[in-house]
Amino acid sequence: MIDLYYFPSPNTWKVSIMLEECGLPYRLIPIDTLAGDQFKPEFLRISPNNKVPAIVDHDGDGGAVSLFESGAILLYLAEKTGKLLPAAGAPRARALEWLFWQVGGLGPIAGQTHYFRRNAPDNIQAVERFTNEAARLYRVMDSRLEGRDYLADDYSIADIACWGWVWFHDLHAQDLLAFPNVARWHANIGNRPAVIAGRKVGLELVPVEHRGILERDDHGR
């Protein structure tokens, strides 16, 4: 059994979707980040960076394995199950480069874009800087997906990592009509049963007034 410490977000969706794709049994442990649960000592022992997601795999090699950081969790689960990540060579490298592209680029930039546009719209320099960089990253992804179904050779943890962030494209001031390859890819991934199930995990944890975009059923289009 895997304990998933969770509150709905693009990063936690990565793990719930991966668990659904792999068919691994898991137990949801809510961490209400709106109420500050992420700062409680018992959670910090598992996730010292006070962020969700985190997991504890009670069936890990040699005993329980505790992990934080969504990218590390995806890699761990892929290696545990042998799914959604090639075992070696160039195909593995391609999946990992796009996973790390999301972790180092798309996620942080999209998050900052959302923050400044929502909380500091008068900081014009920051709003423009992050919005323009978000647009550049969407163009990179759109170019990669030209004539391709997936970011790597096949559906992988790279697609799972990026998908949830693109769901919130309007919060990044990005119109998917400008990125037709991303729009096609995002809709196709969003139709996968495990993605549908993983995205809806824990929605009841979010107060009704904060759900908004989380309740959409159009795959973010």
Tens-place pLDDT, residues 152-170: 999 999 999 999 999 999 9
Examine the domain organization and report whether 210 and 146 are in the same domain: no
Examine the domain organization and report whether 30 and 51 are in the same domain: yes
Q: 160 is in which domain, residue-wise?
A: 89-190
Q: Does the pLDDT value for residue 218 go beyond 90?
A: no
pLDDT of residue 24: 97
pLDDT of residue 216: 62
Place of tokens 């923050």: 115
Examine the domain organization and report whether 52 and 135 are in the same domain: no
What percent of the chain has pLDDT above 90? 88
CA distance 62 to 39: 29
- Asked if 155 and 163 touch (Cβ cutoff 8 Å), the reply is no
The CA angle 212-100-41, to the nearest 5 degrees, is 65
Tens-place pLDDT, residues 74-117: 999 999 999 999 999 999 999 999 999 999 999 999 999 999 99
Mean per-residue pLDDT, 38-57: 96
pLDDT of residue 219: 52
129-132 own/partner pairs: CB under 8 Å, 24+ apart = 131/172, 131/173
pLDDT of residue 204: 81
Say if 65 falls within a structural domain: yes
Share the mean pLDDT of the chain: 94
Examine the domain organization and report whether 156 and 102 are in the same domain: yes
Phi, psi dihedrals of residue 66, rounded to the nearest 5°: -105, 135
- CATH number of 95's domain: 1.20.1050.10
- CATH number of 37's domain: 3.40.30.10
